[in-house]
Amino acid sequence: GGAGNDRMNGGAGNDRMDGGAGNDRMNGGAGNDTMNGGAGNDRMDGGAGNDRMSGGAGNDTMSGGAGNDTMNGGAGNDRMSGGAGNDRMNGGAGNDRMDGGAGNDRMDGGAGNDRMDGGAGNDRMNGGAGNDTMNGGAGNDRMDGGAGNDRMDGGAGNDTMNGGAGNDTMNGGAGNDRMDGGAGNDRMSGGAGNDTMNGGAGDDIMNGGAGNDIMNGGAGNDTMDGGAGNDIMNGGAGDDRMDGGAGDDIMNGGAGDDVMFGGAGNDTMDGGAGDDIMFGGAGNDTLNGGAGNDILVGGAGDDILLGGAGDDLFIYQVGDGNDFVNGGGGHWLDTISLGDGAGGSLGALGSDWTVELSRGSVVAEGDDSLTLSDNAAGQIHFSDGSTMEFTNIERIEW
């Protein structure tokens, strides 16, 4: 083409076009064509065939058409449309936009804030440096955000998302998706399906949605919402907050002062090291405080509450069910609280409850408390017919 704004039409056959300097327009037509735009804001239409396009410097527009096309944007804010076929797009430097269309496409954004739309097919997207936006569309897609605050939407299919460094946002959509946040404060939404989320370092927010999801918070103060399904949540290091939602959930707080809500279902909760607060919710739950001064609330259902090491508090309301409470052996001050306004006595039925000791003795009796000897055991019988069995408890208050 040389210098100037050139127009080239390839026609049938395998054509080669070199635009040179200027804002050039190239139409490849049928065949496997090669187009080099050179400097300038060029427009290239590959047509049918397996075409290769290089934009060079400038803000270029490339349309692959039918076939397995390769597009290299070069420097500038480029736009690439793959069309039908398994296409490869390299954005280069600049804020590029890539539309894969039908087929299993590969997109590399390069430096800049890029936008990639995979369309139908199993697509692979690499954002590179910059704050990138990736939409997988239908298919089992893979997205790598690279450095920057990236946004990824998996769409339908079993998608894999790697956030890389930065504060990333990931939406899995329908399908069994895997999300790795990497470093940064990431936000992940699994959507429908059995999803796996790894927060990595940072204060991450995870929402599992429908399905049996696995969430690993990693280092940082993470927030996890399991949604519907039987979910597994691992908080890792940090002060984490977990809400199991509906389903039989498993929650492990790890190190830190964690807050856990079991929600509906038969949940299993382990606080780990730290001063944890645990609410079982509806269902027959098992709560293990671990090391630290923990607060355990079983809620409705026949629950098992284990305090572990530390001065633990067990809160019970009349009507919560038949619970078993173990404060943990050793020289701790473990306390059962029977709720506001409850009344009762030792050895005789009170207005709400009565205590029977099978081990230990009453050290002191106050208006609203009983102080017991170390590691006392026994039962509390409630007026609604339910019973709490307890062991290794030093105080009962109301």
How many other CB atoms are there within 10 angstroms of residue 259's CB atom? 18
For residue 375, what are its two tokens?
Answer: 């590691």
Contact 306, 290 (CB under 8 A): no
pLDDT at 11: 83
Instruction: Please provide the DSSP assignment of 255-322 as one string.
Output: SS--EEE--SS--EEE--SS--EEE--SS--EEE--SS--EEE--SS--EEE--SS--EEE--TTS--
Specify the 3-state DSSP secondary structure of 29: coil
Residue recorded with tokens 């002060």: 239
Q: Percent helix, strand and coil across the chain, each rounded to 5?
A: 0, 40, 60
Which pLDDT score, from 0 to 100, does residue 348 have? 47
Residue 40: its pLDDT value, please?
A: 94
Q: What is the pLDDT of residue 265?
A: 98
Spatial CB neighbours of 36, under 8 Å, sequence gap ≥ 6? 17, 18, 19, 54, 56
Q: Does residue 393 sit in helix, strand or coil? A: strand
Q: How many CB atoms lie within 10 A of CB 16?
A: 12
Residue ranges of the chain with per-residue pLDDT less than 50: 341, 348-349
CA 128 to chain centre: 22
